[in-house]
Amino acid sequence: MVQDGKNKVADYWEPCKKEILTATLLKRLVGYEKDNIPESLVEQIQPILEEENYSEAKLSNASIAAFGISKWVRAIIGYHGAMKVVVPKRNELKEAKASAAAA
């Protein structure tokens, strides 16, 4: 934690430099298992995505790389939300096809 005026703020930068900003970052993003995102992770990320400092405008001015990663994160979270709707529909369709084939 770092002190930001009167508030304590989680320090993500140092761990990020060590753990994430490596030569394999792009490979890890491309290969990310987007169909198995834990709901708890999505719940942790949602408030961060809504922060003013995480807006696309601020990130695009701060860093092209940060802007690109933030767009990827938003897309993955959007995909997760869409799959919550699509997967049950796929299952219903599969059941309907099986039922029709049996009839």
Per-residue pLDDT reduced to its tens digit, 45-60: 999 999 988 888 898 8
The reported pTM is 0.71
pLDDT of residue 103: 79
3-state secondary structure the chain: CEEECCEEECCCHHHHHHHCCCCCHHHHHHCCCHHHCCHHHHHHHHHHHHCHHHCHHHHHHHCHHHHHHHHHHHHHHHHHHHHHHHHHHHHHHHHHHHHHHHC
